[in-house]
Amino acid sequence: MEDQIEKLDPKDFKRCGNIWDMEKNAGLAGRFYRELVDGNRVTYVYRAGDRLIGEVSLVFDMDDPDYTVKDRRVYMSRLIVKREWSRRGIGRTLLDFAVDRAVELGYNEITVGVDLDNYAALRLYVEAGFDSIVYVGEDDGGRFLKLLRRL
């Protein structure tokens, strides 16, 4: 069976537990699920055979104009690849897929938030054209950047 990226049906949400620990991150999982059902989030999953090994989402309203502006700016959320599958191009493939969907949906800009100490993700985003810094901030997780790519 070939690898492929699919739009996640909310009823299959729990299958993402193969990608990240939903019990440990129950608050986040609950929010993501509600957003999926409400239509504010769309999640794309990377399937290898019958296993989900990565995901990325688009969020349409983050209630933060740095991240989302109606019909213009969309937010890329929760790009993640299972550790044992890392560094094989899957993260970049998922990112490119999300960008293509954002273009199809008519957006002009896509944003992402990244911790400054997450070198792998930071490098991936910069290489993928997220070359404008919208905001430099700090929260409980440390210093972070809001980055933007024009589409």
Tell me which residues touch ligand COA (CB under 6 A): 79-81, 86-92, 114, 118-121, 123-124, 127
For the chain, the maximum distance between any two Cα atoms, rounded to a whole number of angstroms, is 43
Nearer to ligand COA, 25 or 108 (CB): 25
Decide whether 36 or 128 has the Cβ nearer to ligand COA.
128
The answer to whether the CB of 102 falls within 8 A of the CB of 83 is: no
Give the residue with the Cβ less far from ligand COA, 48 or 69.
48
Task: Please state the length of the chain.
Answer: 151
Written as six digits, the tokens of 17 are 């537990």
Kindly compute the dihedral angle of the four CA atoms of residues 73, 129, 48, 102, in this order, to the nearest 10 degrees.
20
CB-nearest residue to ligand COA: 91
Query: Smallest distance from the beta carbon of 114 to ligand COA, in angstroms?
Result: 4
